[in-house]
Chains A and B, each alone.
Chain A
Amino acid sequence: MKRWLPSPLLSAFLLLLWLMLNQSIEPAHLLLGAILAIAVPLLVAPLRPTPVRISRPFTIIRLIIYALIEIFRSCFNVCTLIVFGGGRLNSQFIRIPLDLRDPHGLAVLACIINSTPGTVWVEIIPGSNDLALHVFDLHDAHWWVNMIKTRLEKPLIDIFEQEAP
Chain B
Amino acid sequence: MSELLTASMTDLSPWLAIPVALLLVLGGLITLIGALGLLRLPNFFQRIHGPAVFITVGTGCFLIASMLYFSGTEERPVVHELLITAFVLLTAPVTSMLLMRAAVYRNLRARNARNGASSTDAYQFPDDE
Contacts of A117 in B (CB 8 A): 49, 52-53, 56-57
Whether B80 is near chain A, meaning CB under 8 Å from some CB there, is yes
Q: Say how far B39's CB is from chain A's closest CB, in angstroms.
A: 10
Q: Say how far A120's CB is from chain B's closest CB, in angstroms.
A: 5
Contacts of A113 in B (CB 8 A): 93
Whether B40 lies near A82 (C-beta < 8 A) is: yes
* With A114-B92, A117-B49, A117-B53: A92-B100 Cβ-Cβ less than 8 Å: no
Whether A104 is near chain B, meaning CB under 8 Å from some CB there, is no
Interface size, chain B (Cβ < 8 Å): 39
What 1/0 mask marks residues of chain A from 16 to 45 whose CB sits below 8 Å from any chain B CB?
010011010000000000000000000000
Contacts of B64 in A (CB 8 A): none
Within 8 A of A (CB), among B24-72: 30, 33-34, 36-37, 40-43, 45-46, 48-50, 52-53, 55-57
Contacts of A83 in B (CB 8 A): 33, 36
Enumerate the 8 nearest inter-chain pairs by beta-carbon distance, A residue then B residue, closest first: A114-B93, A82-B37, A75-B57, A136-B49, A117-B52, A117-B53, A20-B80, A79-B33
On B, residues with C-beta under 8 Å from A are 30, 33-34, 36-37, 40-43, 45-46, 48-50, 52-53, 55-57, 78-80, 82-83, 89-90, 92-93, 96-97, 100-101, 104, 122-127
